[in-house]
C-alpha cells in the first residue's frame, strides 16, 4: 500500500510576486509579469524581455552574510522554503530531523555566478580574484544543501537536474521518497535564476525565444497560431510534502494531495519533441496508471505550454492521444503566458498553481490567445479565468534532451 502524501505548505518566488496570495491572485486576473530585461544591458540582444522577479531582497529571508555566499537561485530557494515552512507550521527538531529531507532541483544552477567570476578572472588574470565560495555558489545541489543546513533537515538531501522538467521530477521523486518510507516529510521544488547574458544569447542562438513585435506582455502566447517562442523567466516554487498520517498527527492544514507521478523519455532529439507527442503521451499515461485513475477522471490540465511552435503542437497531440474524445472537454491552460518559462523552477511553480486551481475552483487563463491554431484546437481557457468544480488535475513538464514528467494532484476533501 502506498502511503498517501499531502501538501501542507508552499512558497512562491515568481515574476508575479513573492509569497502565498499575490502571485495566485495576479495569475487568475490574467496579469503578466513579463517586461524588458533590467538585470543587464540587453540592448545588443535579439531577445530583450524576460520574467524577472521584482523587489526581491534576500535580507528579508536570509542572514546578509550568508546571502553573499549564495547564487541568486539559492537565495530564491531559501526564501520560498522559509515561506513554505512557515505556512506548514512544521517544526524540525533533533527527534524528527532524520525523517525530513530536501529535494530541490535547478536546471542550470549558478550560471550568473559562473559568468561573473569568469569575467573577473579574464579581466584581471589573477586567480585570487575568484572567491573561495565560487564552487559552493555554483553547484546546483546547493539549494537543497543550504535549506537542510539552515533548518536542520537531516533526511535525504538530493538535487535533480532535468532541464525544464526539473521542478516536476523533483516533486515526483520526493513523492517516491516518502512513499517508500525513506522520509516522512520532504521540502521539495525547483529554483532557477538564469537571466544572464550568456543564457539569453544561448537560447537566442537556438531560436527558442519569442520575437518581440510590440508589447513584451504579449510575447508569450501558448497555443496561439502566431506563437514564436518562449520567454525566459526566473523564480522558485517550494512545497512541503508529508504523509497524510504525519500531517494529521500534528494538526496541519492540508492544501492538496499528490497522487500520481509519471515520467518518460522521447529518445528522439536534444531540443525538439518526439513526433506526434509520443513521449509525453507515455508520460501522462504512466502518471494516470500510478494514480490508479482513468483519463476521464482528469478535470484540468496545467500544460507545459511553452509558446514554441513544436512544443505546443506536440503537447496538444499527446493530450488527444491519451484522452481521446475527453480531450475536448478538459480545460487546459498555460501559466507561462503570464510568468514566462522558469526553466528548472517551472514545474514546481506550476504544480503549486495547479494545487490552488483545484483548491479554489478557479482555472487560470491562457492569456494572449488571439489567433486560434487549427492544429491546436482544444479548450485552452483563453484570456479569462473560469470557475469550475475540479477533483483531479495533471501538471506537465517536458525538457531538452527529451525528458518528460507529469504530476497528478487531487483536491483534498479529507
Whole-number pLDDT of residue 276: 94
Q: Are residues 305 and 243 in the same domain?
A: no
Give 139: exposed, middle or buried? Use CB within 10 Å, 0-12, 13-18, 19+.
middle
Q: What percent of the chain has pLDDT over 90?
A: 98
Taking residues 274-300, report their average pLDDT.
97
CA pair distance 103, 153, nearest whole angstrom: 11
- Active-site residue, 246 included: no
Q: Are residues 282 and 242 in the same domain?
A: no
Taking residues 294-299, report their average pLDDT.
98
Of the residues 219, 249, 279, the one at which a domain ends: 249
DSSP 28: H
- Active-site residue, 118 included: no
Question: Could you write out the three-class secondary structure of 372-402?
Answer: EECCECCCCCECCCEECCCCEEEEEEEECCC
Does 212 score more than 90 pLDDT? no
The tens digit of pLDDT for each residue in 329-365 reads: 999 999 999 999 999 999 999 999 999 999 999 999 9
Phi and psi dihedrals of 259, rounded to 5? Answer: -120, -10
Of 164, 236, 283, 376, the catalytic one is 164
CA pair distance 367, 385, nearest whole angstrom: 9
HSE-up of 170 (CA within 13 Å, CB side)? 41
Q: Are residues 196 and 277 in the same domain?
A: no
The tens digit of pLDDT for each residue in 22-60 reads: 999 999 999 999 999 999 999 999 999 999 999 999 999
CA distances in angstroms from 286 to 13, 169, 262, 320, 407, listed in the order given: 30, 14, 5, 15, 10
Residue 27 resides in a domain: yes
Q: Are residues 265 and 388 in the same domain?
A: yes
Of 169, 246, 304, 376, the catalytic one is 304
Q: What is the value of pTM for the model shown?
A: 0.98
Cα 311 to chain center, whole Å?
17
Q: What is the CA radius of gyration of the chain?
A: 20
Give the domain extent around 221: 5-249
Q: Are residues 330 and 194 in the same domain?
A: no
Q: Taking the CB of residue 249, how many other CB atoms lie within 10 A of it?
A: 11
Q: Are residues 293 and 177 in the same domain?
A: no
DSSP-assigned beta bridge partners for residue 105? 190
Asked if residue 267 lies in contact with residue 401, where contact means CB atoms within 8 angstroms, the answer is no
Q: What is the mean pLDDT of the chain?
A: 97
Asked if residue 287 lies in contact with residue 279, where contact means CB atoms within 8 angstroms, the answer is no
CA-wise closest residue to 106 among 169, 43, 44: 169
Confidence band for 414, pLDDT divided at 50, 70 and 90: confident
- Active-site residue, 169 included: no
Of 169, 246, 283, 341, the catalytic one is 341
Taking residues 111-125, report their average pLDDT.
96
The domain tally of the chain equals 2
Q: Are residues 145 and 276 in the same domain?
A: no
Whole-number pLDDT of residue 253: 98
C-alpha cell at 118: 569568469
Residue 256 resides in a domain: no
Residue 254 resides in a domain: no
Q: Are residues 217 and 265 in the same domain?
A: no
Residue 356 resides in a domain: yes
Residue 162 resides in a domain: yes
Instruction: Look up the CATH number of the domain holding residue 376.
Output: 3.40.47.10
Q: Are residues 231 and 335 in the same domain?
A: no
Of the residues 249, 269, 285, the one at which a domain ends: 249
Whole-number pLDDT of residue 396: 98
Residue 255 resides in a domain: no
The tens digit of pLDDT for each residue in 51-91 reads: 999 999 999 999 999 999 999 999 999 999 999 999 999 99
Taking residues 259-284, report their average pLDDT.
97
The tens digit of pLDDT for each residue in 1-17 reads: 799 999 999 999 999 99
Whole-number pLDDT of residue 214: 84
Residue 109 resides in a domain: yes
Of the residues 185, 216, 249, the one at which a domain ends: 249
Q: Are residues 161 and 295 in the same domain?
A: no
Alpha-carbon torsion, ordered 203, 206, 207, 210, to 10 deg? -20
Q: Taking the CB of residue 393, how many other CB atoms lie within 10 A of it?
A: 25
Question: Could you write out the three-class secondary structure of 273-335?
Answer: CCHHHHHHHHHHHHHHHHHCCCHHHEEEEECCCCCCHHHHHHHHHHHHHHHHHHHHHCCEECC
Amino acid at each position: 500500500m502506498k502511503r498517501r502524501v499531502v501538501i501542507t505548505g508552499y512558497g512562491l518566488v515568481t515574476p508575479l510576486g513573492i509569497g502565498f496570495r499575490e502571485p495566485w491572485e495576479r495569475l487568475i486576473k490574467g496579469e503578466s509579469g513579463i517586461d524588458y530585461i533590467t538585470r543587464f544591458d540587453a540592448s545588443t540582444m535579439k531577445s530583450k524581455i524576460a520574467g524577472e522577479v521584482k523587489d526581491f531582497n534576500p535580507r528579508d529571508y536570509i542572514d546578509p552574510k550568508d546571502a553573499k555566499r549564495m547564487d541568486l537561485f539559492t537565495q530564491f530557494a531559501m526564501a520560498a522554503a522559509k515561506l513554505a515552512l512557515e505556512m506548514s507550521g512544521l517544526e524540525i527538531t533533533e527527534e524528527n530531523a532524520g525523517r525530513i529531507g530536501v529535494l530541490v532541483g535547478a536546471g542550470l544552477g549558478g550560471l550568473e555566478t559562473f559568468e561573473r567570476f569568469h569575467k573577473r578572472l579574464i579581466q584581471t588574470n589573477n586567480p585570487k580574484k575568484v572567491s573561495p565560495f565560487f564552487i559552493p555558489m555554483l553547484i546546483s545541489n546547493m539549494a537543497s544543501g543550504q535549506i537542510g543546513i539552515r533548518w536542520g533537515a537531516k533526511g535525504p538531501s538530493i538535487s535533480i537536474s532535468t532541464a525544464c522538467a526539473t521542478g516536476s521530477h523533483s516533486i515526483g521523486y520526493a513523492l517516491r521518497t516518502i512513499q517508500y518510507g525513506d522520509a516522512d516529510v520532504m521540502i521539495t521544488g525547483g529554483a532557477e535564476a538564469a537571466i544572464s547574458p550568456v543564457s539569453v544569447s544561448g537560447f537566442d542562438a537556438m531560436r527558442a525565444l519569442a520575437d518581440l513585435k510590440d508589447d513584451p506582455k504579449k510575447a508569450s502566447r501558448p497555443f496561439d497560431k502566431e506563437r514564436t517562442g518562449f520567454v525566459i523567466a526566473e523564480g522558485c516554487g517550494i512545497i512541503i510534502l508529508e504523509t497524510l498520517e504525519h500531517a494529521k498527527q500534528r494538526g496541519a492544514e492540508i492544501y492538496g494531495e499528490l497522487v500520481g507521478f509519471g515520467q518518460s523519455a522521447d529518445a528522439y532529439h536534444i531540443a525538439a519533441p518526439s513526433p506526434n507527442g509520443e513521449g509525453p503521451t507515455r508520460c501522462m499515461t504512466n502518471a494516470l496508471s500510478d494514480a490508479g485513475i482513468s483519463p476521464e477522471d482528469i478535470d484540468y490540465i496545467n500544460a507545459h505550454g511553452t509558446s514554441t511552435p513544436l512544443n505546443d503542437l506536440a503537447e496538444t497531440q499527446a493530450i488527444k492521444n491519451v484522452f481521446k474524445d475527453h480531450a475536448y472537454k478538459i480545460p487546459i491552460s498555460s501559466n507561462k503566458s503570464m510568468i514566462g518559462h522558469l526553466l528548472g523552477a517551472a514545474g514546481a511553480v506550476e504544480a503549486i498553481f495547479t494545487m490552488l486551481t483545484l483548491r479554489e475552483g478557479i482555472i487560470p487563463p491562457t492569456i494572449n490567445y488571439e489567433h486560434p491554431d487549427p492544429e491546436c484546437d482544444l479548450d485552452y481557457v483563453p484570456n479569462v479565468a473560469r470557475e469550475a468544480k475540479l477533483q483531479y488535475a495533471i501538471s506537465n513538464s517536458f525538457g531538452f534532451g527529451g525528458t518528460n514528467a507529469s504530476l497528478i494532484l487531487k483536491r483534498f476533501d479529507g
